[in-house]
C-alpha cells in the first residue's frame, strides 16, 4: 500500500536485468518504501533474450516472458513503448518520447546494448538485419521465406546463434568472421578449429579471417564483397558482430562514460551522481562491460540491496559460458586462454570424434584456473565449480572422466545465471521437499535461464537420495524401453505371459496399450488377434479415430500425397454413398468423417478393392511422409522429393512406435513440405539429402535439428531405418522424438551427438541388429484393414450393439452445413438433424 513516505525509483529499461532489479527490490522491500516506475522502449514486457532463437522454432513471445504474474501494480508501474529521451539530473526528472515527465529519488539505467554494425558501405540496404529483438526475428523470418541463402557477419556467440536461427528457417547459411577462429572470445585456436569442422559437417559455411569491404544490391538480393577481392551472393545479411552499450542517456546528461562506451560505475554500481545507478550491458564496472546476463543479474541484486540500505558490492563476475550451437556443445570457464602467468595447459583432442578439451591449471597442477570444452561439455557444470579450488584428481583424469559431483562443497556455485549454490539446492531438496528438477527450478530459480546446470541439478537430486521413477506404471517396475528389451529377448507374445513374468496385477490403461504397441513393433501378429485385441485403446480397437459424437474417421493412405484420378473418384464415391464429411488433411490425405462403427467394414472394403490401405491415422505409428512436387515439376526443385517420400512412406508404413510419427521431404531449401516440423524431415541439397530429426507440431512445437548432410539416397534410408528402430526400442511411452532426444541430451550431454555415435559410428554395436529389424518389418508388413476384411471373427467386432448388430446408434445425429454434414450440437440450437447412411435422410 502506498504511503506519503514512499520514495520513487525510476528504472530505464525493461530487459532481463531491469526486470531482475524490480523483483529483487520488491523482495527486499515488503513495506513498499519504494514506488517503482519502469520505462521500457520495447512494446512488450521483459523476455528471455538468452532463448531468443527458440522464438523461430515454435516458442511464443508469451512463453519467453520473464515477468511473473502480479509483478506490476499500483506501486510498481510499467510503461511500454515509451523510451526515455532526456535526463535532467538537476531536477531529477526524466522525459519520455511521449512527453511523460517522471520525477525520481533514485534512477537506475538498464538500457542494455545495441548490436554493433560495422561501418561497411551498404550495411543499411534492404535485406540487412540485426539480431536483438523479437521484432528483428520477425523481420528476418519474413525475408527468409523469400530467399534460400543468408550470411551472418560475426562468428562469436551471438553470430552462431543467429546462424542457427537462419538454419532453422531452412536458409543455406554462411558465417563471416574477421578473427582467425570462431568464438574468439571464448575458445582457443584448437577449440575453434574443432567447432569449425563440426558446424561445417552440419551444412554451415565458415569464412574466417575475412573482412567485409562493402555490400551491394545484386540480382534481386545482395552481394558481399570482401577485402581479398572475393564476393558472395546472398538473400539476406544478419549483423551479429558484438554489442555496444546503450549509454547515450548518460552522455547527454554529462555522466562519465568509458573510452569505448559504457556508463562508469563503482563497485556498488553507482555513478558519480549519487542518485543514479547503471546495471547490465550499459554499465562499465572496473573498466569492463559485461555482455552476459549473469553479471547483470548480480548488478541488479547489488543495487536492490543498496536501495534498502545495504552495502553489497559487485564481485568478480563469472563469465563462464555453455551453449549448444548448431547441435555442438561449446563451453568455456575461468581463465580459458591461459592468461595467468606460468599457467599450464592440459589438452585432449580427438579430431575424428570432434572433441576438444583443455584445462588451464597452475604451474604446480594443484589448482584449476579455467578450461575450454568443445564437442563434449558434459563435465562443464562440475568443472566450473572447481575454478580457484585445489584439484581433486590429476588434470588428465578430470579431462577424461570429469570431477566427482560428491566433491562439491555447499558454497560451490551450480547456477551462475541465478547465483545458486550446491548448498541452496541441497537445502531445497532437504527442507522444501523438492523431488525433481521442476521443483528445484521453482524453489531456487536454478536452471531457469540457460539450462546448462540442469544435468548437475539432477546429479545432486540423485546424491540426495531422490530417485526419479522410470517405472511404466504401478504394475511394472520396468520402463518402457526396459520392457521392450525383455519382450524382445524372451519372445513372450501375450500380455498375460509378460505381466506374469515381469509385472503384477491385471494391468491398466497405461501398460496395456504400451505392451500392445511393443508387441506390434515386434511383429507379434495382427493387433486384433486374440488377447491382443483387448489391450488396444478405442481407436486401435476399431482401426479408426473416434470423433466427439461417437462416429469414426476413415483415412486411407496416400503415399507422398500422390493420387490418381481413378482413386480420387473412388474416395469421392465412398464419401457420397455413405454421407461422409470430406476434408483434405495437413498431411496430404483425405479425411472422411462421420462413419458409424458398423459402416467401417463396408467403407473399407470398397477402398481396399480400389487399392487403398490403412493410413494408420488411429495408431501410434507412421502417419505420413509429406512431400512437395520436387524437381519433377517445380522450377526450384533440386531432387525428386515425391519419389523419395513415396518410397519412405511405403517402407515405414505400419511401424508401431511409442508415439505417432510424421515425416516430410522437401525438394529444395524453400521447404514447401515443412519437413523441419516433422519427427524426421528430409530437405534436398545440390549434393543429395539433408536429414533433420526431432521436430513436431502439437502442444509444444519443435523444429527438427540437422543430423547429417549431403547424403545419398542409400545413406539416407539406412540412417532413417536406424533412427526409427532405435526410437521404437528406447523411447518412453507416448514420448515424441523431440522429447526423446531431449531426454538423451539430459542423460548423455548431447542427444544428437549421442545418436550419431550410436547410429553412424555404431558405438553400441547394434546397427546391424537395427538394420535387420527394419528389414523384418518391411518384409512382414500387411495392411491391417485388408486382414480384418478377410477374417469373419474380426469383422464381428464392428457393431454398435451386440444384440442388434445392424442397428445404427440413434444418438448419432448430424446437421448440414456448407453442403456437408457435421455433428449436431444441442447447445447451438441446431434444427432437425440427419443421420449418416448410404444416403442422407431426415430423422423426424
Q: What's the CATH architecture for 320-403?
A: 2-Layer Sandwich (3.30)
> pLDDT digit string (tens) for 790-810?
999 889 888 766 555 666 666
- Cα–Cα–Cα angle for 814, 815, 816, nearest 5°? 125
Cα 41 from chain centroid (whole Å): 28
- Say how many residues make up the chain: 844
Give the three-state DSSP class for 666: strand
Average pLDDT, stretch 670-697? 93
To 10 degrees, the CA torsion angle through 527, 529, 532, 537? 50
Q: Residue 814 forms beta bridges with which residues?
A: 823, 834
CA angle 662, 668, 671 (to 5 degrees): 45
Q: How far is CA 13 from CA 78, 112, 113, 274, 628, in A?
A: 10, 8, 11, 19, 46
The rounded Cα 268 to chain-centroid distance in angstroms is 38
Cα 676 to Cα 57: distance, rounded to the nearest angstrom: 9
Identify the CA nearest to 398 among candidates 77, 389, 606. Answer: 389
Q: Is 486 exposed, middle or buried (0-12, 13-18, 19+ CB in 10 A)?
A: middle
C-alpha cell at 559: 503415399
Indicate the pLDDT class of residue 437, thresholds 50, 70 and 90: confident
Pairing state between β 328-334 and 321-325 = antiparallel
The whole-angstrom separation of Cα 201 and Cα 305 is: 49
Instruction: State how far the Cα of 358 lies from the Cα of 355, in Å rounded to an integer.
Output: 10
* pLDDT tens, position by position, 708-722: 999 999 999 999 999
Grid coordinates representing 830 are 441446431
- Tell me the fold of 117-241: FAD/NAD(P)-binding domain (3.50.50)
Q: Which CATH superfamily is domain 406-468 in?
A: BFD-like [2Fe-2S]-binding domain (1.10.10.1100)
User: What pLDDT, on a 0 to 100 scale, did the predictor assign at position 647?
Assistant: 96
| Separation CA 505–CA 309 (nearest Å) | 64
In this predicted structure, what is the pLDDT of residue 831? 46
In the three-class reduction of DSSP (H, G, I as helix; E, B as strand; rest coil), residue 793 is classed as helix
Give residue 422's region: left, alpha or beta (phi > 0; psi -120 to 50).
Answer: alpha
Q: Are 692 and 720 in contact (CB under 8 A)?
A: no
Confidence of residue 53 (pLDDT cuts 50, 70, 90): confident
676 touches 696 (CB < 8 A): no
CA atoms within 13 A on the CB side of 666: 20
Q: What is the C-alpha end-to-end distance of the chain, expressed in Å?
A: 65
Instruction: Give the residue-averaged pLDDT of 186-200.
Output: 82
> pLDDT tens digits for 355-408?
888 888 898 888 989 888 888 777 777 788 788 888 877 888 787 766 655 566
Rama region for 809: left / alpha / beta (φ>0; ψ in -120 to 50; rest):
beta
Per-residue pLDDT of 559-613, as tens digits, reads 999 999 999 999 999 999 999 999 998 888 999 999 998 999 999 999 999 999 9
φ, ψ (nearest 5 deg) of residue 246: -85, 85
In CATH, the architecture of 7-113+245-307 is: 3-Layer(bba) Sandwich (3.50)
Residue 668 is labelled as binding a ligand: yes
Give dist(CA 224, CA 723) in Å, integer. Answer: 39
| Domain boundaries defined on the chain | 7-113+245-307, 117-241, 320-403, 406-468, 480-536, 619-780
283 — pLDDT class (breaks 50, 70, 90)? very high
Q: Is 663 annotated as a binding residue?
A: no
Helix (H) or strand (E) holding 820: strand 820-823
Q: How far apart are CA 799 and CA 792, in angstroms?
A: 13
Same fold, 7-113+245-307 and 619-780: no
In this prediction, what percent of the chain has a pLDDT beyond 70? 92
* 0.75 exceeded by pTM: no
Q: Is 628 annotated as a binding residue?
A: yes
The answer to whether 634 is annotated as binding is: yes
Q: What is the pLDDT of residues 287-321, one digit of tens each?
A: 999 888 889 999 999 999 999 999 999 987 767 77
Which pLDDT value is given to residue 192? 83
Assign domain 619-780 to its CATH superfamily.
Sulfite Reductase Hemoprotein, domain 1 (3.30.413.10)
pLDDT score, position 825: 58
Distance between CA 264 and CA 424 in Å, rounded? 33
pLDDT of 2 higher than 50: no
- Rounded to 10 degrees, the C-alpha dihedral 399/404/410/415 comes to 50
Confidence of residue 658 (pLDDT cuts 50, 70, 90): very high
How many Cβ atoms are within 10 Å of 82's Cβ, its own excluded?
16
Amino acid at each position: 500500500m502506498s504511503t506519503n513516505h514512499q520514495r520513487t525509483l525510476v528504472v530505464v529499461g525493461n530487459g532481463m536485468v531491469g526486470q531482475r532489479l524490480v523483483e529483487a527490490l520488491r523482495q527486499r522491500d515488503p513495506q513498499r518504501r519504494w514506488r517503482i516506475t519502469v520505462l521500457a522502449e520495447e512494446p512488450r514486457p521483459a523476455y528471455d533474450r538468452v532463448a531468443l532463437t527458440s522464438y523461430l522454432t515454435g516458442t511464443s513471445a508469451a512463453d519467453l516472458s520473464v515477468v511473473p504474474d502480479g509483478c506490476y501494480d499500483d506501486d510498481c508501474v510499467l510503461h511500454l513503448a515509451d523510451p526515455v529521451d532526456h535526463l535532467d539530473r538537476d531536477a531529477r526528472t526524466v522525459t519520455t518520447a511521449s512527453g511523460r515527465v517522471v520525477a525520481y529519488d533514485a534512477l537506475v539505467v538498464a538500457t542494455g546494448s545495441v548490436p554493433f554494425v560495422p561501418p561497411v558501405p551498404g550495411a543499411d540496404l534492404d535485406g540487412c538485419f540485426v539480431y536483438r529483438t523479437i521484432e528483428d526475428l520477425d523481420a528476418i523470418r519474413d525475408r527468409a521465406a523469400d530467399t534460400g541463402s543468408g550470411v551472418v557477419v560475426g562468428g562469436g556467440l551471438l553470430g552462431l546463434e543467429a546462424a542457427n536461427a537462419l538454419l532453422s528457417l531452412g536458409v543455406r547459411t554462411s558465417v563471416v568472421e574477421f578473427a582467425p577462429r570462431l568464438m574468439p572470445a571464448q575458445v582457443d585456436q584448437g577449440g575453434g578449429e574443432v567447432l569449425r569442422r563440426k558446424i561445417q559437417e552440419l551444412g554451415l559455411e565458415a569464412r574466417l579471417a575475412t573482412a567485409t569491404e562493402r555490400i551491394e544490391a545484386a540480382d534481386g538480393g545482395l552481394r558481399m564483397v570482401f577485402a581479398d577481392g572475393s564476393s558472395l551472393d546472398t538473400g539476406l545479411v544478419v549483423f551479429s558482430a558484438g554489442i555496444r552499450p546503450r549509454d547515450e542517456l548518460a552522455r547527454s546528461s554529462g555522466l562519465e562514460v568509458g573510452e569505448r562506451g559504457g556508463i562508469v560505475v563503482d563497485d556498488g554500481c553507482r555513478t558519480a551522481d549519487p542518485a543514479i545507478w547503471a546495471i547490465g550491458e550499459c554499465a562499465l564496472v572496473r573498466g569492463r562491460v559485461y555482455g552476459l546476463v549473469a553479471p547483470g543479474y548480480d548488478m541488479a541484486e547489488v543495487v536492490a540491496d543498496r536501495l534498502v540500505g545495504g552495502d553489497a558490492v559487485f564481485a568478480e563476475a563469472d563469465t563462464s559460458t555453455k551453449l549448444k550451437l548448431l547441435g555442438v556443445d561449446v563451453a568455456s570457464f575461468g581463465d580459458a586462454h591461459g592468461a595467468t602467468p606460468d599457467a599450464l595447459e592440459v589438452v585432449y583432442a580427438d579430431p575424428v570424434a570432434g572433441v576438444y578439451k583443455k584445462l588451464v591449471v597452475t604451474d604446480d597442477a594443484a589448482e584449476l584456473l579455467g578450461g575450454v570444452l568443445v564437442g563434449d561439455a558434459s563435465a562443464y557444470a562440475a568443472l566450473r565449480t572447481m575454478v580457484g579450488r585445489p584439484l581433486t584428481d590429476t588434470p588428465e583424469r578430470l579431462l577424461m572422466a570429469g570431477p566427482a559431483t560428491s566433491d562439491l562443497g555447499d558454497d560451490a556455485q551450480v547456477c551462475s545465471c541465478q547465483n545458486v549454490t550446491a548448498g541452496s539446492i541441497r537445502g531445497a531438496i532437504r527442507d522444501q521437499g523438492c523431488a525433481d528438477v521442476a521443483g528445484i527450478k521453482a524453489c531456487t530459480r536454478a536452471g531457469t535461464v540457460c539450462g546448462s546446470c540442469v544435468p548437475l541439478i539432477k546429479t545432486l537430486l540423485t546424491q540426495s537420495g531422490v530417485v526419479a521413477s522410470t517405472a511404466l506404471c504401478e504394475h511394472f517396475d520396468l520402463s518402457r524401453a526396459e520392457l521392450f528389451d525383455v519382450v524382445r529377448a524372451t519372445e513372450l507374445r501375450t500380455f498375460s505371459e509378460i505381466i506374469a513374468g515381469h509385472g503384477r496385477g491385471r494391468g491398466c490403461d497405461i501398460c496395456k496399450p504400451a505392451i500392445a504397441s511393443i508387441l506390434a513393433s515386434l511383429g507379434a501378429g495382427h493387433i486384433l488377434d486374440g488377447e491382443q485385441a483387448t489391450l488396444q485403446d478405442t481407436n486401435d480397437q476399431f482401426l479408426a479415430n473416434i470423433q466427439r459424437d461417437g462416429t469414426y474417421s476413415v483415412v486411407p493412405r496416400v503415399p507422398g500425397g500422390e493420387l490418381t484420378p481413378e482413386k480420387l473418384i473412388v474416395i469421392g464415391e465412398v464419401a457420397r454413398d455413405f454421407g461422409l464429411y470430406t476434408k483434405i488433411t495437413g498431411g496430404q490425405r483425405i479425411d472422411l468423417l462421420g462413419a458409424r462403427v458398423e459402416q467401417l467394414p463396408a467403407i473399407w472394403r470398397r477402398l481396399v478393392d480400389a487399392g487403398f490401405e490403412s493410413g494408420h491415422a488411429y495408431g501410434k505409428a507412421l502417419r505420413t511422409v509429406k512431400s512437395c512436387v520436387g524437381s519433377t515439376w517445380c522450377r526450384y526443385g533440386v531432387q525428386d522429393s515425391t519419389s523419395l517420400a513415396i518410397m519412405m512412406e511405403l517402407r515405414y508404413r505400419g511401424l508401431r512406435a511409442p508415439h505417432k510419427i510424421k515425416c516430410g521431404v522437401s525438394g529444395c531449401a524453400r521447404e514447401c513440405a515443412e519437413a523441419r516440423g516433422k519427427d524426421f524431415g528430409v530437405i534436398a541439397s545440390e549434393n543429395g539429402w539433408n536429414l533433420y530429426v526431432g521436430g513436431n507440431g502439437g502442444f509444444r512445437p519443435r523444429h527438427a535439428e540437422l543430423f547429417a548432410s549431403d547424403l545419398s539416397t542409400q545413406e539416407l534410408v539406412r540412417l532413417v531405418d536406424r533412427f526409427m528402430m532405435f526410437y521404437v526400442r528406447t523411447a518412453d511411452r507416448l514420448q515424441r522424438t523431440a522429447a526423446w532426444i531431449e531426454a538423451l541430451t539430459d542423460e548423455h550431454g548431447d542427444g544428437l551427438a549421442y545418436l550419431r555415435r550410436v547410429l553412424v559410428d555404431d558405438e553400441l554395436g547394434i546397427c546391424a541388429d537395427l538394420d535387420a529389424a527394419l528389414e523384418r518389418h518391411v518384409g512382414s508388413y500387411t495392411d491391417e484393414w485388408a486382414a480384418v476384411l478377410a477374417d469373419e471373427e474380426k469383422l464381428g467386432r464392428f457393431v454398435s450393439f451386440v444384440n442388434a448388430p445392424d442397428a445404427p446408434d440413434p444418438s448419432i445425429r448430424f446437421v448440414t452445413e456448407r453442403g456437408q454434414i457435421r455433428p449436431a450440437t444441442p447447445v447451438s440450437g441446431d434444427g432437425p438433424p440427419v443421420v449418416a447412411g448410404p444416403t442422407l435422410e431426415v430423422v423426424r
